[in-house]
Amino acid sequence: DAGVTQSPTHLIKTRGQQVTLRCSPKSGHDTVSWYQQALGQGPQFIFQYYEEEERQRGNFPDRFSGHQFPNYSSELNVNALLLGDSALYLCASSRDRGGIQYFGAGTRLSVL
Amino acid sequence: RKEVEQDPGPFNVPEGATVAFNCTYSNSASQSFFWYRQDCRKEPKLLMSVYSSGNEDGRFTAQLNRASQYISLLIRDSKLSDSATYLCVVNVAGGTSYGKLTFGQGTILTVHP
């Protein structure tokens, strides 16, 4: 049983560019949440997707957007990248919106 | 004030020691509580859920005090493999924050021979 998978594992971009990160949830899970983890900090909630809709959002600007597909996989898009967007981006899936969340290995984004 | 606060440490302990981590949370509507473990440059992994009655899993014991909004994790007989960052996590059930995990900064533990 595959766990949560994320791609790519690493990414290097320059300021102003756009990036798309991908996540496939654990089998049987229908909810995907995205988190940003800066070095030395705990993960910060970006948003959660359920039934292909954004259900709630953390304190992140509109440059951060997402999508969930009918097969429950999800994308995180970040536009107009800033140096401060450099972080580990984690995807977590759960059986429902309140279920225990299991994390993927993350995508490490570096913005130069 | 941060929603979830932890002592960042680091805690450096010898093998076999007992170590305790504390965490406080500010949102009284918090309903679910967890400890996650994160190894260097890896993803967080669920260590254990925390229940009001307290719960134990082998060498690990978690306690919750809702009145004080305080969570603890006790590790007995520390092993080298326990070296990691321990993240205190709360989840507000229901309302607009349903399913949103709020993490503490993490407490770094290093167990040495």
Radius of gyration of chain A measured on its C-alpha atoms: 13
For chain B, what is the mean pLDDT?
91
> Which residue would you say has higher pLDDT here, B97 or B37?
B37
Among the ranges given (A45-49, A94-98, B8-12, B13-17), the one the predictor scored with the smallest mean pLDDT: A94-98
Indicate yes or no: CB of B93 within 8 angstroms of CB of A98.
yes
DSSP assignment of A81-99: --GGG-EEEEEEEESSTTS
Among candidates A41, A43, A97 on the partner chain, residue whose Cβ is nearest the Cβ of B44: A43
Chain A residues close to B39, C-beta within 8 Å? none
Cβ neighbours for A83, distance < 8 A, ≥ 6 positions apart: A15, A111, A112
Cα distance between residue A69 and residue B77, in whole Å? 46
pLDDT attached to residue A36 = 98
For residue range A56-90, list pLDDT tens digits in order. Answer: 899 999 999 999 999 999 999 999 999 999 999 99
Contact B34, B50 (CB under 8 A): yes
Interface test with B, best of A49, A101, A102, A109 (most B CBs within 10 A): A101
pLDDT attached to residue B93 = 64
Q: Which of B65, B53, B54 is nearest to B25 (CA)?
A: B65
Cβ neighbours for A45, distance < 8 A, ≥ 6 positions apart: A33, A34, A35, A58, B100, B101, B102
Alpha carbon separation from A44 to A75, A101, B22, B37 (Å, rounded)? 17, 14, 20, 16
pLDDT band for B86, please (50, 70, 90 cuts). Answer: very high
**Residue B81: is its pLDDT beyond 90?**
yes
Cis bond leading into A70, ω under 30°?
Answer: no
Distance between B9 CA and the closest CA of chain A, angstroms: 12
Q: Identify the closest residue of chain B to A34 by CA–CA distance.
A: B100
Is the minimum CB–CB distance between B64 and chain A shorter than 8 Å? no
**Residue B1: is its pLDDT beyond 80?**
no
Indicate yes or no: CB of B104 within 8 angstroms of CB of A42.
yes
pLDDT attached to residue B52 = 85
For chain A, what is the mean pLDDT?
95
pLDDT attached to residue A47 = 95
Indicate yes or no: CB of A40 within 8 angstroms of CB of B105.
yes
Cβ neighbours for B65, distance < 8 A, ≥ 6 positions apart: B71
For residue range B88-110, list pLDDT tens digits in order. Answer: 999 876 655 567 899 999 999 99
pLDDT band for A96, please (50, 70, 90 cuts). Answer: confident
**Average pLDDT value for residue range A42-52:** 94
